[in-house]
Amino acid sequence: MAKTKAYRVAERAVRVLVWLDVLISVPLYMWFLVHVSGRVSEQLPAEDALGFWLPIVVPCAAFSFTLMSSVSWWWSTASRPFLLGRTGWWVPMVFVTALSFLVGVFGSTTPDVEAALFTAMVTTMGFTGLWLLPPALSRNLIDTLSPNTSPADPA
Protein backbone atom coordinates (compact mmCIF):
# COMPACT_ATOMS: atom_id res chain seq x y z
CA MET A 1 0.00 0.00 0.00
CA ALA A 2 1.45 3.34 -1.06
CA LYS A 3 1.31 5.96 1.65
CA THR A 4 -0.01 9.34 0.62
CA LYS A 5 1.78 12.57 1.45
CA ALA A 6 -0.93 13.52 3.97
CA TYR A 7 -0.51 10.15 5.70
CA ARG A 8 3.26 10.65 5.98
CA VAL A 9 2.83 14.19 7.34
CA ALA A 10 0.28 12.98 9.90
CA GLU A 11 2.54 10.11 10.91
CA ARG A 12 5.50 12.46 11.32
CA ALA A 13 3.43 14.86 13.47
CA VAL A 14 2.15 12.04 15.68
CA ARG A 15 5.67 10.61 15.96
CA VAL A 16 7.02 13.99 17.13
CA LEU A 17 4.26 14.32 19.74
CA VAL A 18 4.75 10.77 21.00
CA TRP A 19 8.53 11.22 21.23
CA LEU A 20 8.10 14.54 23.06
CA ASP A 21 5.92 12.79 25.60
CA VAL A 22 8.39 9.91 25.97
CA LEU A 23 11.48 12.13 26.21
CA ILE A 24 9.93 14.39 28.85
CA SER A 25 7.89 12.03 31.02
CA VAL A 26 10.11 8.94 31.24
CA PRO A 27 13.27 10.69 32.57
CA LEU A 28 11.13 12.73 34.98
CA TYR A 29 9.46 9.57 36.28
CA MET A 30 12.78 7.73 36.65
CA TRP A 31 14.31 10.70 38.50
CA PHE A 32 11.26 10.84 40.77
CA LEU A 33 11.56 7.13 41.62
CA VAL A 34 15.30 7.36 42.33
CA HIS A 35 14.79 10.47 44.47
CA VAL A 36 11.89 9.24 46.60
CA SER A 37 13.25 5.71 47.00
CA GLY A 38 16.50 7.31 48.17
CA ARG A 39 14.50 9.17 50.80
CA VAL A 40 12.80 5.95 51.87
CA SER A 41 16.19 4.24 52.16
CA GLU A 42 17.43 7.08 54.41
CA GLN A 43 14.60 6.26 56.84
CA LEU A 44 15.77 2.63 57.15
CA PRO A 45 18.26 1.56 59.83
CA ALA A 46 21.91 2.04 58.83
CA GLU A 47 22.66 -1.70 58.87
CA ASP A 48 19.77 -2.52 56.51
CA ALA A 49 21.12 -3.55 53.08
CA LEU A 50 17.82 -2.60 51.42
CA GLY A 51 18.79 1.07 51.77
CA PHE A 52 21.50 0.68 49.14
CA TRP A 53 19.38 -1.34 46.68
CA LEU A 54 16.07 0.51 46.90
CA PRO A 55 17.01 3.48 44.64
CA ILE A 56 18.34 1.01 42.07
CA VAL A 57 15.64 -1.66 42.13
CA VAL A 58 12.53 0.55 42.20
CA PRO A 59 13.24 2.51 38.97
CA CYS A 60 14.49 -0.62 37.18
CA ALA A 61 11.38 -2.57 38.19
CA ALA A 62 9.05 0.25 37.17
CA PHE A 63 10.79 0.70 33.81
CA SER A 64 11.04 -2.98 32.92
CA PHE A 65 7.59 -4.13 34.12
CA THR A 66 5.77 -1.17 32.56
CA LEU A 67 7.65 -1.59 29.29
CA MET A 68 6.99 -5.35 29.30
CA SER A 69 3.27 -4.73 29.81
CA SER A 70 3.23 -2.11 27.09
CA VAL A 71 5.05 -4.25 24.56
CA SER A 72 2.73 -7.12 25.35
CA TRP A 73 -0.38 -5.00 24.87
CA TRP A 74 0.73 -3.17 21.71
CA TRP A 75 2.08 -6.22 19.88
CA SER A 76 -0.52 -8.81 20.86
CA THR A 77 -3.54 -9.68 18.79
CA ALA A 78 -6.28 -12.22 19.40
CA SER A 79 -4.57 -14.70 17.10
CA ARG A 80 -0.99 -13.90 18.12
CA PRO A 81 -0.39 -13.31 21.84
CA PHE A 82 2.98 -11.76 22.62
CA LEU A 83 4.63 -12.02 26.06
CA LEU A 84 1.68 -11.60 28.46
CA GLY A 85 -0.95 -11.08 25.76
CA ARG A 86 -3.68 -8.47 25.74
CA THR A 87 -5.21 -9.80 28.94
CA GLY A 88 -2.21 -10.42 31.21
CA TRP A 89 -0.51 -7.03 30.91
CA TRP A 90 -2.26 -5.54 33.96
CA VAL A 91 -0.64 -7.86 36.55
CA PRO A 92 2.83 -6.23 36.46
CA MET A 93 1.20 -2.80 36.10
CA VAL A 94 -0.67 -3.25 39.40
CA PHE A 95 2.62 -4.21 41.06
CA VAL A 96 4.44 -1.20 39.59
CA THR A 97 1.60 1.17 40.52
CA ALA A 98 1.64 -0.04 44.12
CA LEU A 99 5.44 0.17 44.25
CA SER A 100 5.41 3.68 42.79
CA PHE A 101 2.75 4.87 45.23
CA LEU A 102 4.50 3.34 48.22
CA VAL A 103 7.86 4.96 47.57
CA GLY A 104 6.21 8.20 46.43
CA VAL A 105 4.15 8.65 49.57
CA PHE A 106 6.65 7.24 52.07
CA GLY A 107 9.52 9.14 50.44
CA SER A 108 7.70 12.44 50.80
CA THR A 109 8.78 14.82 53.55
CA THR A 110 5.14 15.00 54.63
CA PRO A 111 3.18 11.86 53.62
CA ASP A 112 -0.26 13.37 53.10
CA VAL A 113 -2.93 13.87 50.43
CA GLU A 114 -0.74 16.28 48.43
CA ALA A 115 2.07 13.72 48.32
CA ALA A 116 -0.38 11.05 47.10
CA LEU A 117 -1.77 13.38 44.40
CA PHE A 118 1.71 14.37 43.26
CA THR A 119 2.76 10.71 43.16
CA ALA A 120 -0.35 9.85 41.15
CA MET A 121 0.39 12.63 38.66
CA VAL A 122 4.05 11.70 38.16
CA THR A 123 3.24 7.98 37.98
CA THR A 124 0.56 8.61 35.35
CA MET A 125 2.95 10.73 33.30
CA GLY A 126 5.66 8.08 33.52
CA PHE A 127 3.28 5.26 32.64
CA THR A 128 2.02 7.21 29.64
CA GLY A 129 5.53 7.79 28.33
CA LEU A 130 6.59 4.19 28.87
CA TRP A 131 3.30 2.92 27.41
CA LEU A 132 3.87 4.91 24.20
CA LEU A 133 7.51 3.88 23.78
CA PRO A 134 6.84 0.65 21.79
CA PRO A 135 4.56 2.33 19.23
CA ALA A 136 7.02 5.23 19.00
CA LEU A 137 9.69 2.72 17.99
CA SER A 138 7.36 1.04 15.50
CA ARG A 139 7.99 1.65 11.80
CA ASN A 140 4.22 1.94 11.20
CA LEU A 141 3.24 4.31 14.00
CA ILE A 142 -0.23 5.24 12.75
CA ASP A 143 -1.14 1.60 12.06
CA THR A 144 0.10 0.61 15.51
CA LEU A 145 -1.96 3.32 17.23
CA SER A 146 -5.07 2.76 15.11
CA PRO A 147 -7.66 0.50 16.80
CA ASN A 148 -9.01 -0.67 13.43
CA THR A 149 -5.85 -2.42 12.28
CA SER A 150 -3.72 -5.10 13.86
CA PRO A 151 -0.36 -3.91 15.20
CA ALA A 152 2.72 -4.32 13.09
CA ASP A 153 4.76 -7.46 13.59
CA PRO A 154 7.60 -6.71 16.03
CA ALA A 155 10.00 -8.90 14.09
Q: Which of 67, 42, 60 is nearest to 52 (CA)?
A: 42
pLDDT (tens digit, 9 = 90+) per residue, 7-21? 888 888 989 999 999
pLDDT (tens digit, 9 = 90+) per residue, 91-119? 899 999 999 999 999 888 888 899 999 99
User: Where is 32: in which H helix or E strand?
Assistant: helix 5-43
The Cα–Cα gap between 107 and 128 comes to 22
Q: Is 60 helix (H, G, I), strand (E, B) or coil?
A: helix
- Report pTM: 0.82
Residue 155 confidence (pLDDT): 45
pLDDT (tens digit, 9 = 90+) per residue, 22-52? 999 999 999 999 999 999 888 888 888 888 8
